[in-house]
Structure 1
Amino acid sequence: MKKNRKRQTGGMLRFSSIIKILLIIVLMVLVILGTFLGAYVLSVLKQAPPIEPENYRNQIKETSKVYDDNKNLVQTLVLNEFSEYVSLDSIPKDLQRAVIAVEDERFYDHNAVDFKRVVGAIVHDLKTRSLQQGASTITMQLAKNLYTNQAKSIDRKLTDIYYAYELESVLSKDQILEAYLNSAGFSKGTVGVQAAAKTFFNKNVTELNLAECALMAGITNRPEKYSPYNRGNIEPNDDLSKTEIVLRPIAEGETNNEAIISIGKQLLELGIIDNFEYKQIENSQLVPMKAVFNPVSKERQELILKLMLQQGYITEEEYNEALGYEIKINLGQRREKGISSFYVDEVKKETISILKDLGYTHEEASNKLYTGGFSIETSMNLDMQKKVEDIVSNPSHYPGNFTDEKGNPQPQVASVIMDPHTGEVKALIGGRGIVGSSNLNRATTPRQPGSSIKPISVYMTAFEDGATAADVYLDSSLNGSKLPYKPRNVGNSYQGWTTIRNLLRKSSNVGAYLVARDIGSDRNNKANTAYSYSRAVDEKKAATMIMENLENIGISSLVWPEDNPARNDMNFSALSLGGMTKGISPLEMAGAYTPLANQGEFMKPTFVQKITTSSGEVIYENKKEGKKVMSEQNAYVITDILEEVVTQTTGRNANFPRMHIAGKTGTTNSQKEAWFVGYTPYYVCSVFIGRDDHKPLPFYSTTAASLWRSIMQPLHEDLEDKEFEEPTGIKKEYVKGVGKSELIVEGTEAHFTNKMVRYIPKPKPKTNDDDKDNKKDKDDKKTDNNDKRDKSSKGKNSDYRGR
């Protein structure tokens, strides 16, 4: 017995020892695992970048918006996501409670992490061997939205928890809820409850009812699954007038068939889409589809309503009423219909430039443009823009109108309307029948300006150099002259001895050249007054002065000899007749005419007037500062001449009653471009017409002048007719030799008036004095730097014909 008892006792001791050893081993394993786990957690948290919870608002992206001059919304600048921030007091209590009920029942009780949900989620994930349930609280989801990402990983979960505690230590529960509701994704490229309300119901979030709130609250769990609508193909029996239409970007390799284009045509006729959207459908850029209510979102909504009832947020009556409410999808619009995007394209460019001036890098500025939540106030007059878009789209304005192989109407058009006193661009046309964005903007693309350059190149520079409207020149064929450049007038029509007024009024090519070459010279030098054509001139100096003047009034497309020695604009074909290497854009042309319309002050064309952040801080405001580039008196005299262009000569087609108008036509070689640039006391407007392939037009600049009138006349219907303001310092006096009165700026005098009565001799034998002088001139030119300059102008553009 004793022996057996000893054996039992020994066995028990051995078993007890084994248990102790096992416990020690388990404890050691747990310690080791805990050590490794702790080390792992610490390593993850060490890699987590520090955050500043108090600056959470800066982490929430918000879509910027563009407004017109009356603060009407023109376009929401959506790149990838549409987002608008609203304060918590603007979010219905029903929406707040619906989100809490389904996402985080104990939101106001826990401190960042709900451990009860965590245990339940761990058990579920272990059973299913997945990470399906994350037990994320609203605070953890906010951390994910602001600081981490959507990846399903333990590292991210640990980081979310860490950040959640930091957020809870600094922010109130209301701040956390507000930030979450403004940063959560709601499908279809929408972020935040305000953007979602506008996207799905075309309402502000404040207007949502209980049923809509519950539906919205259900989206964030799995946005694409619970989205309120899905896209569906439009069926032949669909009533398009009652169908919510979605325009989807076309997939690569996909093209719209005739049936789809026919649907687009019907949508256009119903006014559901505008002409620009129709063109994108026609050109296989967009596909029209219908928004179909998603029944799965309704199931999710019913679950949330039940949770709200169970948690005491709503009554039984409210629950039943919300269940029975018929949800209707009403898609909101993100841009103004009826206008192309060319204007807004320029607003984007200018905004990025402004932000860069404020210290942002180009990449930062480009990103902030879309996500900075800016309110960008522009100078666009929405009503004016729509009217001009409608006018230029009428094909009757373009003789020989046709559609090219790309589906674009030809010829194309560009027009810019601006206030010459402020620089504000009120309307801009970058093409007709084309939307904008990735397409060529003809308003900012240089084209050869022809004779429309003359007032701003030759005559503006000459008048500032002392020329007057009464200066006398010989408007005659230069074939028999010794001049190095021999332009011809259109139709070989010449006036003989005449004044600068008549040269500009009748757009003389010969006259523009002769006036240009005198710039910078002593006009009273006998070598200039005693001969038909001035001899003491420095043509290189004159050309340089003209180019400097053009750059001073905003022309950025000039090509200088140092840029391209072989082909540049340092020649009179380019500077006096408009046969330029690149040309001038309609936008810069409109700006260049502002000194004439604005008492000698140049106003750079601008689009952006003010930029305000979402917090109300004004970070930019256009000061509308001009630059004095010519005297008020010279501006008025040239304007007075250009009024005669409109009333008497090439610009007559631009004239309309009860308004003072000044302007200049321009037709280039082979009629490849047609221009009219003109102004009233209210607006300056440039009009360009030309084919994209640069082939000849079947008309002249008179067609551009007619289109200018069609654009400008309606805009002036309610405006008072007033004269261009005449400054002091101008006198109208009789000019001896010329035989008539002319406007003369005080301090200046008419030149070459002695030539007006001079007899033009026929060619004489080489022994006469004139031939000796001509021979001397020829010999002198062998060593004259101007000879090299003039030879460079003899080429492709040497007989450039402006009109």
Structure 2
Amino acid sequence: MAESLSNMQDPASQGSNAVGASFDENWSPATDGDGLNQAITEGAVPTPPTGQELQQGVPVNAEPLTAEGAALETENQPSDANKVDIVKRDWSGLRKIRAWFDAKFPPLTSSGKKNLYRRPIFWVGVGVVTVGGSALGYVWWSLRTLEQALPNIADMSAFTRDGTLSIKAADGTILLQSGPATREKLQLREIPEQLIKAFIAIEDRRFYEHGGVDYQGIFRAIASNIMARDLVQGGSTITQQLARIVFLNQERSLLRKVREALLAQKIERELNKDQVLERYLNLVYLGSGAYGVADAAWVYFSKPVNELTLAEMATLAGLPPAPSEYSPLVNPDAAKERRNIVLQQMLAAKVITVAQERDAIAQPLAVKPSAPKRLQVQAPYFARYIMKELPRYVSKDALEAGGLTVETSINLEWQKIAEQVMKDAVELDGKAQGFEEAALVSIESRTGEVKAMVGGANFQKSEFNRATQALRQPGSTFKGLVYTAAIAAGFSPYDSYEDGPVIFDGYQPNNYGKRFSGWRSMADALASSVNVVAVKVLVDVGFDPTIKLAHDMGIKSKLNPTYSLALGASEVNLLELTNAYGTLAAQGNYIEAHGIRRVINQRGDVIYNADFKPKRVVDKNSAAIIAWMLQGVVQSGTGGPAALSDRNVAGKTGTSEQARDLWFIGFIPQVVTGIWLGNDDNYPTYGASSTAAYNWREFMSQVVKGMPIEEFPKLPELEGRKGSIKAKPVQPGNVVYGMIKNDDDSISPYNPGGSSHDSATYQDPGSYQEPESYQEPAYQEPVENYN
């Protein structure tokens, strides 16, 4: 309001109100403490306002307003919304501080010089000290935080490199490490002293003097490298390199270098120098897939470390800074030059003589490369099976990232028994019966976990896994699945079929020796493995129901809808056939056979956890009936050699045409095991399926020791039982009974000659001409969907 009045054009009011306006705008506390500043206005000298006047905002010495002035004042009065509170500052506190400072630190000292505290440089120094102290405090706090987050040095013993795939047995034993894994570990006393000194001379001359970080060595390395215009010495100590190898990555950043230094010091506090050296020399990467001096000696010179020459030792010691650049296999000239630098450093360190240096430098860079040795692999066929299975459960990105640990279900005790039994089978039975290969799979029936797997007689000679990759004709073992379909369709094990000559659409099933035995019950025909009855049962059940149920039970290979399907004409592998019989052991519940329990990534996260749920594919009563029938195979049929002394066994033998494949798949309630014997080139054997049954017993009799005895389910009530699946009988176009199909495809009446049925006798295949060429059985991807 005062400002508005001061701008009014009325001369009568301008003078008097200008005084109040000028006073309000300019009045403030005096900075020197000697009074108030006063605004001089024409014709009026204002006096200081009282506190009440200031609070109420009353103009001092204001003349009474005229009517026009009052109107203008009212018009220019701001509304409540536009009022702004004016805050009056109290400077008395600052005045007191100023007065104290002037008294304490006068501008001039007694000698007449300017007081230090009055100089700008003093306050700049105070600022620098304050900022520097804060920075040092922050650095100290950061280092403490980093040090507290350092890994446990004890974890070094369990270290596996990035990219290493580790496959473990159920008890944690490493079966296989694939990738850049530490392969052969040496104790320090096994490493030549000159080789150790070569690494110290070129990588860390003051190794025995520093505590993990060599600050003197850093400056010396910089100077040496500048003078030589080459990488003569490294700045990182051996301990720092070990810290980087085990716990850190190879990124180039200040933070990583700080962590490396802190970790190196921690390693030195917890390990002695010899322990540091031993770990370093076993883990350092030396190029061409070689990790550690033992691998490098083999990769570059095909010899153990204790046979290396001084020149060869110097060659290896020169590799760590740039393994590819200094590799004698990749760049021999650079490797030789680097070798000579190492020898010069060894001479400077007085660990070799001048004569030794000259002799070593004069030697040519002779290399004799070999592939890196790998860790001893246990259960090699199973380990390779796991590696093939991994992409089913783990993403491509996870596989490429590497560093995975795969925990499996393999029981190493069972595995060792299985390997020995298969070895004996080939070496003893195979020589007499003409087969050179064998395979075994054992599965825990209620979980589907693979407990043992042997894929061949000798993994070193052939890595082809006959348990998972070889597709072979199952022979009569497939009858077990045909009869399962019949029982599930409501058939009775006592239903009878005539074992006699019959031709379905030009196809004639024959028993061994073309002998027939008349009417047989299904249970009896299965125990005696009668071919004709099996085909007739298949015709009555139908192709589609049989194939569908077989797939539901675990068969993944393609099954052809032909009459010979009942006799095992469609090829399968041992694992899937054993898995299908495992469904019967589990009382009709199918669980896919698998060997992987968990997969853990490099960070320790579980990225896959097996969670296979049982699926009811055969009704419980039907599973109990077929298990009872298969027990008859062992008790009174072709599977007698598989019988165990302390518990019942159910199973089925199988022999393909000309005994090319010898099978036995058997189970107890807890475990199902399958065995195959034969030749890769399909050459006929002179054996019988009873040999497979015998070796099944050799394996199972050992693994069941201490295992609780469980009884099979009792045979359910058969009267009035209804099936759980619907039969879809085959409708043959032409059926001929009582006739025999001759070799020229003509038919003639059957002349019995003898009426006895030879249930398990094998006829010598006679002369056989070896095929001109043979290709190893190719692995076929399992068929997932079926129409």
The residue that corresponds to 1:41 in the other structure is none
1:472 paired to 2:496: yes
Q: 1:66 & 1:611 partners in 2: Cα distance?
A: 9
Q: 1:462 & 1:206 partners in 2: Cα distance?
A: 74
Q: 1:425 aligns with which of 450, 467, 477?
A: 450
1:345 paired to 2:384: yes
Q: 1:348 & 1:180 partners in 2: Cα distance?
A: 39
The residue that corresponds to 2:557 in the other structure is 557
- 1:589 CA drift (Å): 1.0
Q: 2:588 & 2:473 partners in 1: Cα distance?
A: 25
Residue identity in the other structure for 2:538: A
CA contact (8 A) 2:208 2:273 kept: no
- 1:123 CA drift (Å): 2.2
TM-score between the two structures when normalised by the length of structure 1:
0.54
Residue identity in the other structure for 1:598: A
Give the secondary-structure state (helix, strand or coil) at the position aligned to 2:392. helix
The residue that corresponds to 1:590 in the other structure is 578
Q: 1:123 aligns with which of 212, 227, 235?
A: 227
Q: 2:269 & 2:684 partners in 1: Cα distance?
A: 58
In the TM superposition, what are the counterparts of 1:681-696 in structure 2 within 5 Å?
681-696=669-684
1:459 paired to 2:483: yes
- 1:691 CA drift (Å): 1.2
1:292 paired to 2:292: no
CA contact (8 A) 1:424 1:606 kept: yes
1:700 paired to 2:688: yes
Give the secondary-structure state (helix, strand or coil) at the position aligned to 1:401. helix
Q: 1:459 & 1:389 partners in 2: Cα distance?
A: 32
The residue that corresponds to 1:378 in the other structure is 408
In the TM superposition, what are the counterparts of 1:315-714 in structure 2 within 5 Å?
335=375, 339-356=378-395, 360=396, 365=399, 367-368=400-401, 372-395=402-425, 398-399=428-429, 401=431, 410-435=435-460, 438-456=463-481, 458-478=482-502, 484-519=506-541, 542-558=542-558, 569-573=560-564, 575-580=565-570, 583-714=571-702
Indicate the RMSD between aligned Cα atoms, in angstroms.
Answer: 5.3
The residue that corresponds to 1:211 in the other structure is 274
Instruction: For structure 1, list consecutive stretches of 5 or more residues without a partner in the other structure.
Output: 1-54, 85-94, 126-130, 147-159, 182-192, 194-204, 233-245, 252-286, 309-331, 404-408, 520-541, 560-568, 734-743, 752-776, 785-790, 796-800
The residue that corresponds to 2:717 in the other structure is 731
Q: 1:302 & 1:383 partners in 2: Cα distance?
A: 51
Residue identity in the other structure for 1:385: Q
Q: 1:60 & 1:386 partners in 2: Cα distance?
A: 29
Give the secondary-structure state (helix, strand or coil) at the position aligned to 1:611. strand
CA contact (8 A) 1:415 1:687 kept: yes
Q: 1:511 & 1:180 partners in 2: Cα distance?
A: 80
- Tell me the alpha carbon deviations over residues 362-410 of structure 1, each in whole angstroms, 9 at most, x when there is no partner: xx62x44xxx33221111100110111112111577545189xxxxx94
Give the secondary-structure state (helix, strand or coil) at the position aligned to 2:491. coil
CA contact (8 A) 2:619 2:724 kept: no
The residue that corresponds to 1:74 in the other structure is 175
Give the secondary-structure state (helix, strand or coil) at the position aligned to 1:641. helix
Q: Report the CA distance shift for 1:389/1:464 in structure 2 as closer, same or farther (over 3 A).
A: same
- Tell me the alpha carbon deviations over residues 389-439 of structure 1, each in whole angstroms, 9 at most, x when there is no partner: 112111577545189xxxxx9421111011011011100011113337744
- 1:513 CA drift (Å): 1.1
1:719 paired to 2:698: no
TM-score between the two structures when normalised by the length of structure 2:
0.55
The residue that corresponds to 1:174 in the other structure is 259
CA contact (8 A) 2:441 2:467 kept: no
Q: Report the CA distance shift for 1:697/1:116 in structure 2 as closer, same or farther (over 3 A).
A: closer
- Tell me the alpha carbon deviations over residues 138-192 of structure 1, each in whole angstroms, 9 at most, x when there is no partner: 79x989989xxxxxxxxxxxxx9xx63xx21x447235665999xxxxxxxxxxx
Q: Report the CA distance shift for 1:518/1:177 in structure 2 as closer, same or farther (over 3 A).
A: farther
CA contact (8 A) 1:674 1:688 kept: yes
Q: Over alpha carbons, which structure has the higher Rg?
A: 2
- 1:333 CA drift (Å): 10
In the TM superposition, what are the counterparts of 1:149-188 in structure 2 within 5 Å?
164=252, 167-168=253-254, 170-171=255-256, 173-175=258-260, 178=263
Residue identity in the other structure for 1:352: P
Q: 2:231 aligns with which of 119, 132, 139?
A: 132
Q: 1:62 & 1:748 partners in 2: Cα distance?
A: 50
CA contact (8 A) 1:430 1:440 kept: yes
CA contact (8 A) 2:579 2:593 kept: yes
- 1:468 CA drift (Å): 2.4
Q: Report the CA distance shift for 1:101/1:802 in structure 2 as closer, same or farther (over 3 A).
A: farther
Instruction: For structure 2, list consecutive stretches of 5 or more residues without a partner in the other structure.
Output: 1-148, 152-158, 186-198, 318-341, 350-371, 736-740, 746-757, 761-787
Q: 1:135 & 1:624 partners in 2: Cα distance?
A: 54
- 1:747 CA drift (Å): 6.7
Give the secondary-structure state (helix, strand or coil) at the position aligned to 1:666. strand
Q: Report the CA distance shift for 1:220/1:418 in structure 2 as closer, same or farther (over 3 A).
A: closer
Residue identity in the other structure for 1:350: E
State how many pairs are aligned: 515
Residue identity in the other structure for 1:174: R
- 1:616 CA drift (Å): 2.5
Q: Report the CA distance shift for 1:431/1:492 in structure 2 as closer, same or farther (over 3 A).
A: same
